[in-house]
Amino acid sequence: MSTPINADKLDIKDPHSLPMEAETTRVRSLTGIWRWLLIVAAAVSLFLCVNQQFTWRFFVGYTFLNTEYFYLLIAVLLPFTFLLFPATPKAPLDRVPWYDALLFVLTMAAAIYLMTKIRKSAELGWEMGGAPQDLIWVGYVMWAVLMEALRRTGGWSLMLSILPFTFYPLVAGHLPSPFNGHDLNLQETSAFHVLSNESLLGIPIQAFADLVIGFLIFGTALTMTGAGRFFINLAFALCGTFRGGAAKVCIFASALLGMMSGSIVSNVLTAGTMTIPVMKKTGFRASYAGAIEACASTGAVLAPPVMGATAFVMAQFLNVSYAEVALAAVIPAALYYFGLYMQVDSYAARHGMKGIPRAELPKLWDTFKDGWYFVFVIVLLIFMLLVMKRESHAPFYATGLLLILNQLFNKDRWRWKDVIKFLESNGKIFVELVGILAGCGLLIGAFSATGVIGTLAGDLVRIAGNSPMLLLLIGAATSFILGLGLTTTACYIFLAVLLAPALQKAGLNVMAIHMFIFYWGMLSSITPPVAIASFAAAGIAGAPAMKTGWESMWVGSIIYFIPFFFVLNPALVLQGDFLEAIYLTITVALGILPICGGIQGYMVGVGDLRRTGLLEWPLRVLLIVGGIVLAVPGGGIMPYSNTEMELAAAIILVPTILLALLLLRRGPVAVS
């Protein structure tokens, strides 16, 4: 008998030892004084966040403006991008070069100087003109180091996508419609970027400072207290015996982990190191196993209650509570994982894959007994988010409860070295996100300063001939193209500024629009050439990176259809009647079945379509078409009602399925 699978025996890597969203995987391991400075920076960031969110007034007699708080965080964290992320592939990883140390000091000095002036700037309106020359020059320095930090954390493609737009105000008055806007000179542009609350200190940094820090701390605490082991063992215990069981465990475990971490690469490194080897052992080829894990982990940024950083940015854009965004993501996340599950099920059935013997799996009761307290922590988090509406406080209370229960009931209690590791891990991810979010903020600032967003929206609507469907297709294509070179958060910010207002002007629901953009931007994680989830999974699987990326697109192909379903009817993002949302969810789920059957060549309840001979591909195409017709909600911008769409789907699907059953009954056809 084989040894039972148990994640406790697994050397699960620290999910924060690699960047979450950057293209590069070269991260310098800091030692000596630099490492301790990073640990102190993480502790100071946590202290500043708690002080600001809970108004504890540690700074007696002085109340920080939000902009002063934001600049303090930038001063504490942004300089470390030059220590953690080497300038070039040939830069040393074992020491900090003099030029990185110089950039560290320069960045911190510029941020502190701007922080000391931001209160007076708010009083005198310097961001709109009249700023002193010293502030202008410090603004130039900050502008330059922000772009270099963006390059190091997000890669060349992200920096080159943002940098030209930061200069957009200089030429806006000379461009043709729809890009014509107010002109600013270089000094005015610099002042607006660093002093206004719509650029560097805009929505991305506001989301990080107000919400993201708390949830990142909670995710790290979960990982370090053994939640990864608990969720993986729970997944193996529940669905390891199903056909293609290892792949279904991968989906279930990644969904559970993703709900708590909101990190794609953390998911891959935590769940993938366990699930990918087992998938390979049970018959999945290496690249396909990596692709399944990549797709399953990508859902982390969509799965409530803890979603990725993009969801917090979305809440700031929409000026709604984070809980509202999390609720809106429930059905899209469920459809995402259901579609992926059915893809894997059809693949496993087509290839005759079996489940893992029960004797080789962890026992459900033993698993629950070891990690029962995680359930109470999750319940507290959800209660505070959805009932008490305290999203800025919820992760701190949940983390506190988790650490208390961990010390009481976990055999691996934290010691001081674990506290240090906790701070260091959080410090790394804080630094990376600040580098990306602060740089992306300048994109928003450029368009805000010129006032072009409103006119651009109207022009895009006119270009599309007032057709919301054409605008959606333009949005999907643009998201896909941008996603090839940008990270999820950067892609979302770009389109939330440029495209979302046009879609909203066309009459579409604002929450559905932003979820649509978010969803499409998320797909960059499995779409080459960025494909960070695919490349991370390929490394674990020992498979070629690009091949795993293309396999991910095929495995996750159903995922590319789903965003259109909920933007056509916002009830699917809980913007409308609840009963209609349930009805449409069932309809979409039923439509997903034939879509997956057509893509994979095995229809649940029908069988292996290879046995239909020459009619295999026509039947598969009809299943995909019929499934799409069934899944697409009627009404709204669709010229047909739900009933008419379902009738049309039945006209396509019923004869197709009956013909397939008839052909399969006549006897076996040779299957290659």
Residue 9 lies in a domain: no
Q: Give the lowest-confidence range in 40-49, 106-115, 237-246, 586-595.
A: 237-246
The listed range with the strongest mean pLDDT (12-21, 307-316, 317-326) is: 317-326
Cβ distance 13 to 425 under 8 Å?
no
In-domain check, residue 429? no
Q: Using CA atoms, how far apart are residues 142 and 660, in angstroms rounded to an integer?
A: 65
How many CB atoms within 10 Å of residue 412? 12
Q: Tell me, what's the pLDDT at 483?
A: 64
Report DSSP letters for 359-399, one per residue. Answer: GGS--HHHHHHHHTHHHHHHHHHHHHHHTS--TTTHHHHHH
The CA distances from residue 441 to 126, 337, 614, in Å, are 19, 31, 55
**Who has greater pLDDT, 2 or 458?**
458
Token pair 């239909």 is found at 612
Query: Is 616 part of any domain?
Result: yes
Among the listed ranges 24-28, 109-113, 178-182, which one has the minimum average pLDDT value?
24-28
Q: What is the reported pTM?
A: 0.82
Question: Is residue 652 in a domain?
Answer: yes
133-154 and 156-166 are packed helices; what angle lies between their axes, rounded to 10 degrees?
A: 150
Q: Tokens representing 143?
A: 């502008």
Q: What is the pLDDT of residue 10?
A: 40
Residue 607 lies in a domain: yes
Mean pLDDT score of the chain: 85
Cα separation, 401 vs 381, whole angstroms: 10
Is residue 133 assigned to a domain?
A: no
Please check whether residue 83 is in contact with residue 30, taking contact to mean a CB–CB distance below 8 angstroms.
yes
The pLDDT value recorded for residue 7 is 43
pLDDT tens per residue across span 19-39: 444 333 478 889 899 999 999
| Closest-CA residue to 374 (of 382, 363, 385, 362) | 382
Mean pLDDT of 270-276: 84
Domain membership flag for residue 623: yes
Q: Does a structural domain hold residue 138?
A: no
Nearest to 318 by CA among 394, 212, 206: 206
Instruction: Count the Cβ atoms, other than its own, within 10 Å of residue 422.
Output: 24
Residue 128 pLDDT grade (very low, low, confident, very high; cuts 50, 70, 90): confident
What is the rounded average pLDDT of the residues 86-104? 92
Looking at residue 403, what is its pLDDT? Answer: 93
Q: How many domains does the chain have?
A: 1
Tokens of 646: 């379902």
Percent of the chain with pLDDT over 90: 36
Q: Is the preceding peptide bond at 305 cis, omega within 30 degrees of 0?
A: yes
Average the pLDDT over 377-382 and give the result: 89
Q: Confidence band (pLDDT; 50, 70, 90) for 17?
A: very low
**Does pLDDT of 3 surpass 70?**
no
Where in the sequence is the domain holding 659, given as residue range(s)? 577-672
